Amino acid sequence: MKILVCISKTPDTTAKIAFTDNNTKFATEGVQWIINPYDEWYALVRAIELKEKDPTTVLHLVNVGGSENDAIIRKALALGGDEAIRVNLESQDSFTIASQIAQVAKDGGYDLVFTGKETIDYNGSSIGGMVAELLDWPYVSLATKLELNGSNASLTREIEGGEETVEASLPLVVSAQKGMAEQRIPNMKGIMGARTKPLKVGEPVAVEALTSIAGFELPPAKAGVKLVPADNPEELVRLLHEEAKVI
């Protein structure tokens, strides 16, 4: 079996968010980059677990981006995987990115494609579904469990008010979220081995972007907190009525 795991680069959650070029681009200066947690902790680790159960499994990683992404790809390889593929393209258009991943999956003859449920920067949650549509494969989103039995997969996914168990046959695209696997930390052997694992760079297929970023806007700053003494409920009522206007 061949598994392909999609890896994205995102800003660390503690990064200070700012924009440039008339608020049309994310300011990258001084930002620490990490592997998107949903890709790393759940999609990649579950794929590694499957490979550990069946050592004949081929596990590859794919990333769409420039050469600056190589560092986080190597970090992902340190966790596990046989090799990585980077499509040499900078794009924020989900359809363009999904098209590159779908082409890699098609050319490589993969049986299972993993994505995280979303990236923590744009929260689009769109890549997995688009990849599945472009490949004409079944798609299971928001999966918390996955078990394989030959060419069949049994999955559990979150739904409103509960869980749903579904079955699908391979090939298959799955977006993974919390519950799919437990976070792992690369060990020294993995870190050293990642240096020599193949990181292939491919050129993108021609795709017409369907969306473009018109601009970013930060949320309004939070107002200061007003403290009201416990023995002055009348003042609390006045503030809620006259300033907050909630009563």
Q: For residue 48, give the H/E element and its range.
A: helix 45-53
Q: Across the strands, what pairs with 126?
A: none
For 143-162, what is each residue's pLDDT tens digit? 999 999 999 999 999 888 89
> What's the confidence (pLDDT) of residue 218?
86
Q: Which residues contact 242 (CB under 8 A, 6 or more apart)?
A: none
Pair type for strands 19-20 and 112-116: unpaired
Residues belonging to the chain: 247
Domains in the chain, CATH or no CATH each:
2-220 (3.40.50.620)
| Closest listed residue to residue 44, CA positions, set 15, 66, 12, 73 | 73
Half-sphere exposure for 3 (CA within 13 Å, toward CB):
26
What is the pTM (predicted TM-score) of this model? 0.87
Looking up tokens 């590694």 gives: 48
If we measure between CA atoms, which residue out of 195, 204, 203 comes closest to residue 83? 195
Q: What is the pLDDT of residues 153-197, one digit of tens each?
A: 999 998 888 999 999 999 999 999 999 999 888 888 899 999 999
